[in-house]
Structure 1
Amino acid sequence: MLAVTSLLSAAGLLTGCAPMNPAKDAGYHAQANEINRPVVRPTRSISSFSDSLMCMDHLFRETGMSTVLITSKSIPDYSGKIAVATKEMIVTALSQMSRVSNAFRFVDYEVNIAQQDTVQNLTTLLLNNNQIRLQRPALYVSGAVAFVDQQVTANNVDMGTSASRLETGYSQSRRSSVIGMELHLGDFRSRTIIPGLDSANEIVIGSGGQGLDLSGRIGNYGVQFNVGRDYTQGSGPAIRTLVELAMIELLGKWARVPYWQCLTLEQTHPEFMRQMREWYEDASPATRGQLVRRSLLRRGYLLTENPDDATLHTALARFQTDERMVVTGVVDFPTYERSLRNFVTLSPDGHLQRIGWETAPNNNTTAAAITTDKQGQPPEVDLQVENIMLGRSGFEQGEQIFLSATVSRSSYLSCYMRNARNEVIRILPNATNKSGWVPGNQAVRIPDWMSPTPGFVMDAGLPGQETVGCFASDKNVSTQLPASLQKPAFQPLPGITSMEQIAAQMREAAGTGSTIGLAQLQWEVTPKRPTAPGN
């Protein structure tokens, strides 16, 4: 009774006083901006098939497939249990399969009035005024989340004890749900589903929990203690996995490429990332750093295994950029996993095992036995003709030429062109890209035919042989080049008549310990055929 009276008195005192002064709480509220910020770094969404999509990109590039326009219907979930943007996942998968090959371009046009936005409304206005023209796609994706069967399997265990002064309880539960997705590829011209180009896959997601209850009584007072552990696997990553697998199957079948080669990677094993996380947690920070440094050394991002902090930070940032990760410049788990995933394989019994790793004695840490050339590997340059008819070795005089260059890791790229009169000009860097720095594993268009202001066009010149050579280096050597190579872009370089001369000057400017990657393309220019009368 006394306690109740005291509480009522305190309540009356508070309500009878003057209003609270917000200024007195300013110091407390001032922390809101800092407290509101997340405490975990963001990570790029990487699935089991991220490397498989990259593999498909290179398969399309190797087959010389022309760019194909594709679109997609909305992918509904008839169960109403999964609220995810499936269509956007399809767009992302198509984009990741076209970074280097430019194999597919998505036609982004929304016919649903309820989903139209500002861009769509402007597009409709321009279409009605004949000021814009949409290209008809060749293919479209159709399908749906076919079913979601929740709690297909369930297991519950409950037990407890009871005594005069102590009660205990324990519970455990496990549940499995199955999600099925079916996607098809259709011919846009006839609006028919192409027979045989279908994908029907299922995936299992699970949830589980454990709980412990303790309660007791000491005299007239009771004590209760509860503890529990729960996990629920999300439906979003599950749908992304199904979408990426389906797109690999559909487009691989349609393009008639050996897509199954991209699905046999150990990284598609469902336990891959969990196993990598276990190895990451078991290793000390020093060992993790050593493993990653040796991997970067082998790939050419580092020239020594013991760099200074600034050099290591730059190398990590470049590696993370090339792997399309969130750039942090530190050895976190995503960087650890991406740098060492090529040193994991499946054992004969189907388990994941490390290759080239050796366990250090008397502790739980690991050390890598990864070797490399002391000078590192030069960046690889892939130079391709990107005209509609791929693999061409000849052009008519005046015909426009489209090229692309892809480097294996972020580098400084410079490209030169030699005409039939042995005159050499620099086409990259130029006024559009003054530094020449390009990210790795992304095709650089030469010229950028997708830009309204490409900066230059490249036409076949006088009849004879023309050559384009591209050089990639880890550091910018432009200021160390002789004056003859520092002329403005698209002007003849005095005294230079061959790519070999430029290569020699590049190596000298790079200095000892640096490497230069080189790729060349040659073609024959033939006189333009006369136009037939009346044309």
Structure 2
Amino acid sequence: MNTATTLPRGPGRNGAPRRGAAWLMLAGALLLSACTTPLDPRKDASLQQAAYTTDRPVVRPTRSVSSFSDSLMCMDHMLRAAQVPTTLITSKQVIDYSSRVPVAAKDMIITSLSQMSRLSNAFRYVDYEVDIVRQDTVQNLTTILLNNNLMQLQRPALYVSGAIAFVDQNVATNRFDAGTSASRLDTGYSRNRSATVIGLEMHLGDFRTRTLIPGLDSANEVVIGSGSQGLDVAGRIGSYGVNFNVGRDYALGAGGAMRTLIDLATIELVGKWARVPYWQCLTLEQTHPDFQRQMRDWFDESGGVGQATLVQNSLIAQGYLQAGTDLLALDSPALRTALTQFQIDSLLVPTGVLDFSTYERAMRHFVTLAPDGSLQRVGWGPSGPTGSMAENKGDSTPVRTSGLVLTSTTPPPRRIDMQIENALPPGMEPTFEVGEQVFVSATVSRTSHMYCYFADPSGNVMRLTPNQVTPHSLVAANQALRLPDWLVPNPAFIMDASRPGTERVACFAAETDVLPRLPAPLQGAGLVNIPGYRTIEDIDKAFQQGVGTSGYVKSEVYWKTQPKKAQPSVAAPAAPQPAKR
């Protein structure tokens, strides 16, 4: 008698056995038995080795900018032109009472003040704040040094106070949902949009009296939005079902919105305090809300050779490439060098690669506001790519590139702007007493090699920069060279008014390092008297002989030095007389 074991029959068609369930149970048993065996980590070595590269970001870092980054640079030049003296300033913590905007607002204020002081040296931030909860190394050392009279803390003149006044979430909301249903197909579509309002209020106060100055306030709001769009599809084929869900979402971050608000508030407060026309810096095209997005669209449209052509033409106009240069490839060493120097001068990450940040900085001069308030390209036409660029003869010849018609111009002239940074009465000749410190700054319009000299009334001339502490002569465009560098604790030299008479400081700037082409006495060490040279005119003649009259530019400042005024003598008190009896 033969016996056979059969699987239990289920309620399927014709009583067919459920063989699929049996195989599933068998596979599960094998999986459980495999889990009891310990894994060998050596078998995962190839995967773990890839972690070193997988952990790296896939995009290059970029500078954090806002709609008012150019306005901060504009304010820097405006404060320098107004000769605003250096002012010590600090700030309170910007409190977020809503707890919905977790950003470092105080550090954003410090960055804004720093960007307005790169050239003008208008502000120096006093960083001292006691936080009992979070004790760090700097705070502990500061407390120890102050208690032992080993550290001098300067009192600021101004302080910034403010708070995130409110965060109104989902002030405006728009929702749309629709769907269809059939016997074998269901569809659905949804779209949601919402807007949130953030308000920031900031004030400027007098630190000496801890009073907020009337009228020096700023109250602004910004809207951040979010949106989503989704499509659902569900279908049935026999007894099986299939579902699809496709969606797109975006959310504007609160961090970028807060940086925009803080930059705007800082410009308003500083402009009102310094009494300068700050509104001129707020009407730039770059403050348009769609500026970055529109530039991104144009960047994506140009692409490839078009980007290199457009940016190269801009670099020629700004003096980073020689006029008449043929179209260079993106990986050309000459173009990478020019891009790197342009990125350094533009406060970008110096990579030498043509990314969007570099494109936006180089091409922003060819964007303006149309009468209807929209952004438009200046001189951009429908011409197609040509693959080459016409020579730039400096005669305003139109140059056609891919999608762009620019007017090539001669690179901007090299100029040196020198100023005496001491607080002096306006309209009066600069005059100092013997022994009084003098502070001078020099700024060159194009990246150049710069050499500065000091001449006293006795006929002694010495080179101030480059020197043993600062041996490099290359100075970036529109960056202040401080003489001496009063922002470092140990400058290379201190410039005092030495002898009665006229003292002068002159700076010479050239395209390349011209020191080897100068006479031997001028090639010596800095900060020592140069033998055989007694005036600035002697230095000027040496530059003419070694470089040529057209190979450099020169600028100078002078001041009068007078003897120190005698202090009024104070009569010694009379000796006490013995009392008479």
- Report the TM range for the smaller structure's normalisation: over 0.9
Q: Deviations over 1:55-102 (max 9, x none)?
A: 111111111111111111111111111111111111111111111111
Q: In the alignment, is residue 399 of structure 1 matched against residue 436 of structure 2?
A: yes
Contact 1:295 1:370 in 2 (8 A): no
Measure, in 1, the Cα distance between the counterparts of 2:228 and 2:551.
55
235, 259, 275: which one pairs with 1:216? 235
Structure 2 vs 1, CA of residues 39 and 8 (structure 1 numbering), >3 Å: closer, same or farther? same
Structure 2 vs 1, CA of residues 150 and 483 (structure 1 numbering), >3 Å: closer, same or farther? same
TM-fit CA distance, 1:148: 0.5
Letter in 2 for 1:125: I
Name the SS for the 1:314 alignment partner: helix
177, 202, 213: which one pairs with 1:194? 213
Structure 2 vs 1, CA of residues 446 and 229 (structure 1 numbering), >3 Å: closer, same or farther? same
Name the SS for the 1:525 alignment partner: strand
Partner of 2:139: 120
Contact 1:159 1:170 in 2 (8 A): yes
Letter in 2 for 1:530: A
Partner of 2:455: 418
Identity value in percent = 53
Partner of 1:96: 115
Q: Deviations over 1:332-365 (max 9, x none)?
A: 1000001111221111111111224333248994
Measure, in 1, the Cα distance between the counterparts of 2:375 and 2:90.
38
Letter in 2 for 1:377: P
Measure, in 2, the Cα distance between the counterparts of 1:397 and 1:359.
66
Q: In the alignment, is residue 4 of structure 1 matched against residue 24 of structure 2?
A: yes
Q: Deviations over 1:164-198 (max 9, x none)?
A: 11111111111111001111111212222211111
Name the SS for the 1:251 alignment partner: helix
360, 368, 376: which one pairs with 1:353? 376
Contact 1:75 1:86 in 2 (8 A): yes
356, 361, 365: which one pairs with 1:333? 356
**Which structure has the larger Rg?**
2
Partner of 1:247: 266
Name the SS for the 2:365 alignment partner: helix
TM-score of the aligned structures, taking structure 1 as reference length = 0.94
Letter in 2 for 1:323: S
Contact 1:287 1:367 in 2 (8 A): no
Structure 2 vs 1, CA of residues 503 and 270 (structure 1 numbering), >3 Å: closer, same or farther? farther
Measure, in 2, the Cα distance between the counterparts of 1:398 and 1:469.
21
TM-fit CA distance, 1:528: 3.3
Q: Which runs of structure 2 are paired with 1:501-516 in the superposition (5 Å)?
A: 502-503=539-540, 505-506=542-543, 515-516=551-552
Measure, in 2, the Cα distance between the counterparts of 1:532 and 1:417.
33
Measure, in 1, the Cα distance between the counterparts of 2:540 and 2:231.
71
Partner of 2:7: none
Name structure 1 gaps, 5 residues minimum: none
Name the SS for the 2:407 alignment partner: coil
TM-fit CA distance, 1:432: 0.7
Partner of 1:323: 346
Q: In the alignment, is residue 472 of structure 1 matched against residue 491 of structure 2?
A: no
Partner of 2:529: 492
Letter in 1 for 2:452: C
Partner of 2:579: none
Contact 2:379 2:404 in 1 (8 A): no
Measure, in 1, the Cα distance between the counterparts of 2:247 and 2:416.
54
Letter in 1 for 2:497: A
Count how many residue pairs are aligned between Structure 1 and Structure 2. Answer: 531
Q: In the alignment, is residue 75 of structure 1 matched against residue 94 of structure 2?
A: yes
Measure, in 1, the Cα distance between the counterparts of 2:298 and 2:488.
45
Measure, in 2, the Cα distance between the counterparts of 1:241 and 1:188.
26
524, 527, 535: which one pairs with 2:563? 527
Name the SS for the 1:161 alignment partner: strand
Contact 1:473 1:516 in 2 (8 A): yes
Contact 1:61 1:100 in 2 (8 A): yes
Partner of 1:153: 172
Partner of 2:320: 301
TM-fit CA distance, 1:283: 0.6
Contact 2:456 2:502 in 1 (8 A): yes
1, 15, 28: which one pairs with 2:35? 15
Contact 2:424 2:430 in 1 (8 A): no
TM-fit CA distance, 1:239: 0.6
Q: Deviations over 1:281-307 (max 9, x none)?
A: 111321211111121111111113337
Letter in 1 for 2:346: E
Name structure 2 gaps, 5 residues minimum: 1-20, 387-400, 572-581
Measure, in 2, the Cα distance between the counterparts of 1:307 and 1:486.
38
Q: Which runs of structure 2 are paired with 1:442-457 in the superposition (5 Å)?
A: 442-457=479-494
Q: In the alignment, is residue 111 of structure 1 matched against residue 146 of structure 2?
A: no
Measure, in 2, the Cα distance between the counterparts of 1:296 and 1:416.
31
Contact 1:290 1:367 in 2 (8 A): no
Partner of 1:44: 63
Partner of 1:385: 420
Q: Deviations over 1:351-389 (max 9, x none)?
A: 11122433324899422413122xx33433221112233
Letter in 2 for 1:524: K
Structure 2 vs 1, CA of residues 461 and 145 (structure 1 numbering), >3 Å: closer, same or farther? same
245, 248, 257: which one pairs with 1:229? 248
Measure, in 2, the Cα distance between the counterparts of 1:338 and 1:507.
36
Measure, in 2, the Cα distance between the counterparts of 1:449 and 1:267.
33
Q: Deviations over 1:226-266 (max 9, x none)?
A: 11111000000101111111111111111111110111111
TM-fit CA distance, 1:428: 0.6
Contact 1:284 1:365 in 2 (8 A): no
Contact 1:110 1:116 in 2 (8 A): no
TM-fit CA distance, 1:524: 2.3
Q: Deviations over 1:448-472 (max 9, x none)?
A: 2232321222222333322211122
Measure, in 2, the Cα distance between the counterparts of 1:48 and 1:509.
46
Contact 1:377 1:515 in 2 (8 A): no
TM-score of the aligned structures, taking structure 2 as reference length = 0.86
Q: Deviations over 1:32-64 (max 9, x none)?
A: 000110000000001100111111111111111
Contact 1:378 1:473 in 2 (8 A): no
Letter in 1 for 2:382: T
Measure, in 1, the Cα distance between the counterparts of 2:197 and 2:552.
51
Partner of 1:139: 158
Q: Deviations over 1:272-327 (max 9, x none)?
A: 11110111111132121111112111111111333762222111111111111111
Structure 2 vs 1, CA of residues 422 and 227 (structure 1 numbering), >3 Å: closer, same or farther? same
Structure 2 vs 1, CA of residues 191 and 529 (structure 1 numbering), >3 Å: closer, same or farther? closer
Name the SS for the 1:212 alignment partner: strand
TM-fit CA distance, 1:503: 4.5
CA RMSD, Structure 1 to Structure 2 (Å)? 2.3
Partner of 2:17: none
